[in-house]
Structure formats: structure tokens, C-alpha cells
Amino acid sequence: MALLPFTRPSIDEATIAGVAEVLRSGWITSGPQVREFEAALSRLCGGRAVRTFCSGTAALEVGLRLAGIGPGHEVITSPLSWVATANVVLEVGARPVFADVDPRTRNIDLALAEAAVTPATRALIPVDLAGLPVDRDRLNDLARRRTLRVLEDAAQSFGASWNGRRLGAFGDFVAFSFHANKNVTTGEGGALVLPDASLAGVCEKLRLQGVTRSGEDGMEVDVLGGKWNLTDIAARIGLGQLARLEEFTARRRALARLYFERWDRVLGCELPVADFGNCNWHMFQVVLPERVARAGFIARMRELGVAAGVHYPAMHLFSLYRALGWREGQFPHAERIGRSIVTLPLFPAMADEDVERVCEAARKALA
Ligand SMILES: *Cc1c(COP(=O)(O)O)cnc(C)c1O
């Protein structure tokens, strides 16, 4: 039997035909498709201004720059995330400060985040791991009380909501990723929801070399920008994906429910929070019992025809971050989870029987 991957994008024939049309159109970099994709994203986000980027990382970095974060500033985030979350803080010259996660949600513990606030703290970057939203009421209350900016790393939570409100439709800055593995993809890509439409112009400059054009031939550069625009080819994929957002999310939720029904509790793994209202089920992750070596488990699962992923080791233990003074023992929950977490297959094209197959393989691999 073919190896069951832990994720796979669902690109339909209509989208492929749409991409072919873009390729034949004579305009393949940022243009009409990007504008249409941004308009569609804005409609999803309650009419707020949204700009796209070549990656979620670029969206995060521009968000920090627009928030005025730079040298001398501290930004509090979770150590249990893709390393991009903290790398962008270093990119703008600020200091990432970690606060441990709540072992139940695997997201940043907001009480610990508050305890980490110093006079240098300017912003919080909450991360919705696996698409489970950080508590937005407590988050925004904390930000208000301590006068902090918020840059939501919603790379994994596109399509998720908080108590009936779609993520991106409220809050300060919200960054999404459309990487190939995310719930909605453009191959590579990202988007930033702006707290204020008046920032759109600066945002566009920062995304493309700081250039402002005017009239027939005017060009000016008054700020250092990057090369972070999205192509029309990618935007057309995104438009095809957006049309299926609700279908994708519903299917992911149904598959996650099946995991809860079929997973053998005797195996001693920690399951995710069973949230079927807010979470978009970007991933279904279990934490293995401490007696189990993760590498051996992954290898055994592969022999049994099932791929498993690792998202993520605690990032403060990467040598780049150790060199900044972070060390073992500071964030025991993130460290333990980072050592033992595995991502099991979950993607919209999966069959119900595939969940069965994964649960059976895990039973054998942990026996
Ligand atoms: C994917 C991801 C990013 C970065 O997005 P890219 O599009 O790969 O640059 C940032 N944070 C988290 C939590 C992610 O999962």
C-alpha cells in the first residue's frame, strides 16, 4: 500500500485551468490576480485591509516593521512554533522572549507571557499551533492592559474562529501563511491583515523595495523594502483554494472527530484539545508517552505505510537561540512536548478508512 502522507494539498482541475490561463495571459507576476485575491481575503476578514506576500514569514516581518518594532525592543512569543515566528523578531533587530506553553492547548500560556513583560516589551506574537486559537479575549485584554501590539501568527489557523468570529476579522495585525502544507495554499505565500487601512501604502512599499510610483514616470524610494510580493500564478491558486475553504475545514473537522472516536486511549498518548467550534484542524498531533523514542515510532509508522511529521522541537534550544542565552529547563512543557509530539495524517482528501489505518498502525508501533 502506498505511503499515507501526513498532508497533501487538494488542487482541483478548475484551479489548474485557471493557472494555465494566467500563464497564457502575458502577466504572471503581481497583477490582477493578486488584487482579486486580496479583495477576497478582505471580504473574509470583515472588510479589513489585507495585503499578500511571497510567504507567511514576509507577512510577519512586515507586520513587525509596521508596528514599529526594532532594536531595543522585546517581543514575547511561544517556543513551540515554526522557527519563523522568532526569526522575524531577530530580522527586525529586536529580541524574541519566550514564555512556556500550556500543556493542554500547547499554545503560549498567557499568564507566563504577562510575567515575561518588561519595560522593553513592545509586542506579543501568539501562535495558534495546529489551528487551535489562543484565547483572543485574554490575549487582547493583556495587550490593552500592558499597552502592547499584537501580531497574530495565524499561519496555521486560517479559517479558524474565536467564539463565532473568524480569525483575521478582528484584532491588531494578523498574519497568515499559504505554504504548501497549510489549510489553504498558494504553493508559497502569505497575507497580513492590517489594523488600519491607512497602513496599506507603507505595507506595499515595504513589500517591494520601498518603491512608490507616481504619474507616468515617477519613482521614489524613501524606506528600505524587501522583495516579498506574491505572483499572479500563486494568487490564482489561492483564489481556487478560497472557494473551498469551508469544505476543507469541515472535512478536517470530521476527520479529527474520527481520530477521537478511533484512537486507542490505552496507548497513553496525549490527544489535542477536542475543539470542533474554533479550531480549523490544521494538524492532528499527539504527544507520545515519555518511554517511547519518537524517531523509532516514526520509522515504525513508515514501515506500516503511514508518514508522521514533527511540528516542532522547542525553538529556544536551536543553537542560534542558545547563543542568545536561552537554555534547557527554562520551558519544561514546550521542551517535553517538542521532544515527543508527532503529527499524524490529516488533509481533506483523506478517506475515513485512512484514519482507521493510522490508528491501527499506531497501535502496532506502540505495542
Ligand atoms: C508556516 C508557518 C510560518 C511561516 O510561513 P511561511 O509561509 O512558510 O513563511 C510561520 N509561523 C507558523 C506557526 C507556521 O506554521
Walk along the chain (367 residues) and give the pLDDT tens digit of each residue. 799 999 999 999 999 999 999 999 999 999 999 999 999 999 999 999 999 999 999 999 999 999 999 999 999 999 999 999 999 999 999 999 999 999 999 999 999 999 999 999 999 999 999 999 999 999 999 999 999 999 999 999 999 999 999 999 999 999 999 999 999 999 999 999 999 999 999 999 999 999 999 999 999 999 999 999 999 999 999 999 999 999 999 999 999 999 999 999 999 999 999 999 999 999 999 999 999 999 999 999 999 999 999 999 999 999 999 999 999 999 999 999 999 999 999 999 999 999 999 999 999 999 8
Whole-angstrom Cα distance, residue 356 to residue 232? 39
Q: What is the three-class DSSP state of 114?
A: helix
Q: Is the CB of 297 under 6 A from ligand 1?
A: no
Neighbouring C-beta atoms of residue 233, cutoff 10 Å? 18
pLDDT at 326: 98
Full set of structural domains in the chain with CATH: 13-242 (3.40.640.10), 245-365 (3.90.1150.10)
| pTM confidence score | 0.98
pLDDT at 353: 98
Neighbouring C-beta atoms of residue 204, cutoff 10 Å? 17
Please give the single-letter amino acid code of residue 290.
E
Helices (H), 25-120: 32-44, 56-66, 84-91, 110-115
- What is the radius of gyration, based on Cα positions, of the chain? 21
Q: What is the three-class DSSP state of 239?
A: helix
126: cell is 501568539
pLDDT at 1: 76
340: cell is 515527543
Asked if 179 contacts 189 with a C-beta cutoff of 8 angstroms, the reply is yes
Question: CB pairs under 8 A, 24+ apart, for 12-20?
Answer: 12/240, 12/244, 14/240, 15/236, 15/237, 15/239, 15/240, 15/241, 18/236, 18/239, 18/240, 19/233, 19/236, 19/237, 19/240
Dump strand ranges (E) for the chain: 50-53, 74-77, 95-98, 121-125, 149-153, 161-162, 165-166, 173-177, 190-193, 211-214, 218-221, 284-287, 341-344
Q: Is the CB of 79 under 6 A from ligand 1?
A: no
SS (H, E, C) 275-338: CCCCCCCCCEEEECCCCCCHHHHHHHHHHCCECCECCCCCHHHCHHHHCCCCCCCCCHHHHHHH
Per-residue CA distances from 331 to 84, 129, 269, 272, 335 (Å): 19, 16, 20, 19, 6
pLDDT at 246: 97
Mutate to test the pocket of ligand 1, among 6, 7, 55, 57 (most ligand atoms within 8 A of CB): 57
pLDDT at 163: 95
What distance in angstroms lies between residue 234's CA and the mean position of ligand 1's atoms? 16
Q: Is the CB of 190 under 6 A from ligand 1?
A: yes
Asked if 240 contacts 11 with a C-beta cutoff of 8 angstroms, the reply is yes
Q: Is the CB of 84 under 6 A from ligand 1?
A: yes
Whole-angstrom Cα distance, residue 207 to residue 58? 8
Hey, whose CA ends up nearest to atom 5 of ligand 1? 56
Q: Is the CB of 183 under 6 A from ligand 1?
A: no
Would you call 182 a catalytic residue per the annotation? yes
